[in-house]
Amino acid sequence: MTISKKSMKWIPWLLVLPVVIIRGFTTLYPILMTVKNSFCDIRILAGVDEFCGFKNYLKVFSDPKVLTSIRFTVVFVVVSMILHVILGVCLALILNMKFKGRRFLRTIVLIPWAMPAVVVGMAAKWAFNNDYGLINDFIRWFVHGYQNSWLINTGSARAAVIAVDLWKDLPFFAILVLSGLQFISGDIYEAAKVDGANGIQCFFRITLPLILKNVLTLSIPFTLWRLTTFDIVYSMTSGGPGEDTALIAYRITTEAFTNLNVGYASALAMLLFVVMAVFSWLNIRVMNKIDN
């Protein structure tokens, strides 16, 4: 029995069809259910499940807890990504240098990223403790009697969350930037040095333009990960003090699984989904302009 060439064209599609169906169901079904629930008043504890139109969406703009979460999320994402890009590129440049033990350093630098976020959050909660934390103990070596309740004061708690998130994911960002640096030929730098270029000029005129697209590409998933950060906040501050470190992803989870307000949580999730989609689209447009 022979199979015609026309039939052969359908074989690859038939082979991937089961995976496409399963993946489509597990992805589209939750999204569609979230859209449907966002237009309903679903409060499990109150036994309420009824259509409410845009009530959940309108509530977002008058809910002080959500507005606080949105403001901190914006600050968290912007500050964290600026530090990721600047420090990540600097760390990548260091790891790209030729020195003894370079391979070993490239390996151990990934340890923070490889650790589970919940473990990192719990360790940070202990490190920032006012009474027995390592941070205050270290500062007391230089400032006698220093005391700071890091996770009790709003400003220091937010700074601590950003710092811990940076400590965890910065090495991975740097390693990915390093992969882009590896493709830059050393002959380009040699030619620039012959022409009298110094290190700073080489960076801004050779290195930065050649890794710019790589950095922008990395910024997309890293920004989306910042928008969905939950586990570090949950294990480190539980959204405190008060609601001041509750990122929007933490707020969504709290509404859905603590307050059991499924409809409101779904509306928040859909708004976050739209923001992430728009951000991704804008980044793709920017990268296309760079290519052109």
Please report the pLDDT score of residue 4 as a whole number: 63
pLDDT in tens, the chain (292 residues): 455 666 677 788 888 888 888 988 888 888 999 999 999 998 887 788 889 889 999 999 899 999 999 999 999 999 999 999 999 999 999 999 888 888 899 889 999 999 999 999 999 999 998 888 889 888 888 888 778 889 999 999 999 999 999 999 999 999 999 998 988 888 888 888 888 888 888 888 989 988 988 898 888 889 999 999 999 999 999 998 888 999 999 999 999 999 899 999 999 999 999 999 998 888 888 778 777 7
Question: How far is residue 202 CA from its own chain's centroid?
Answer: 31
Instruction: Round to whole Å and give the CA distance between 244 and 155.
Output: 9
54-57 contacts at long range (C-beta below 8 A, 24 or more positions apart): 56/263, 56/264, 56/266, 56/267, 57/267, 57/271
CA 259, 260, 261, 265: dihedral to nearest 10 degrees? 90
Please report the pLDDT score of residue 283 as a whole number: 80
Instruction: Round to whole Å and give the CA distance between 253 and 234.
Output: 10
Domain spans, the chain: 62-291
Please report the pLDDT score of residue 228 as a whole number: 92
Q: What is the pTM of this model?
A: 0.88
Residue 122 CB burial class (10 angstroms; 0-12, 13-18, ≥19): middle
Q: What letter represents residue 258's amino acid?
A: T
CATH 2.50.20.10 fits domain 62-291: no
Please report the pLDDT score of residue 267 as a whole number: 95
Determine phi and psi for 41, rounding to 5 degrees: -90, 95
Please report the pLDDT score of residue 289 as a whole number: 77
12 contact partners, CB below 8 Å, separation of at least 6: none
Instruction: Round to whole Å and give the CA distance between 107 and 123.
Output: 21
Three-state secondary structure call for residue 290: helix
Please report the pLDDT score of residue 5 as a whole number: 64
Tally the C-alpha atoms within 13 A of residue 271's C-alpha that lie toward its C-beta: 22
Determine phi and psi for 281, rounding to 5 degrees: -65, -45
